[in-house]
Amino acid sequence: MKASVLVLLLVFTLHPIRAQDHQHTVSVATNGFEHPELVSDSDAYRHFFILAAMDSRQLSGLLPADRIAAMKILSDFKAEWEGRIAEYNARATELNNKGQRSDIKPFLAARDTLGQQTRGKLVQALSENGVKTIDASVKAGKGRMGVPGRPQ
């Protein structure tokens, strides 16, 4: 049951942009169930951050001080992530209403940067063991992901 919920969640969180009919050339999707090594670290960390921000049980392997610090950082990540999605969707809707298309590539680059920044904050705030615990969870999670292709 958990895996099916995770897959559904990941499908909706990878490309939540629905404001317009995108017609981009897209690379082939990655099936983490069969090839977890092909799931990018960027995608895997972002999904872990989203899940952990919604369900703190994802952080159960952390010591209390690490867990508290991680929850704060991931709460900030979630707020920033949701704000960026809302901002992109508003711009895309506006352009779509004018018969134009927005370019998703800058959003995707900013999305990846946000994930890197969040991981950097975790590395700074958590103990070495806390970081290793999160890294192990992210690596294990790659085997439960299906990642849509990226626009070319």
φ/ψ of 110, rounded to 5, equals -65, -35
Please report, for the chain, the start and end positions of each structural domain, with discontinuous segments joined by +.
Answer: 2-147
pLDDT of the residue at 4: 42
pTM summary value: 0.75
CB atoms near residue 97 (< 10 Å) = 10
Burial 9-46 (b: 16+ CB within 10 A, else e): ebeebbbeeebbeeeeeeeeebebeeebeebeebbbbb
State pLDDT tens for residues 17-55.
444 444 444 455 666 556 667 788 998 999 999 999 999
Q: Decide if 14 contacts 147 (C-beta within 8 A).
A: yes
Kindly report the average pLDDT of the chain as a whole number. 82
> What are 74-106's pLDDT values in tens digits?
999 999 999 999 999 999 999 999 999 999 999
Who contacts 41 (Cβ-Cβ below 8 Å, separation ≥6)?
Answer: 138
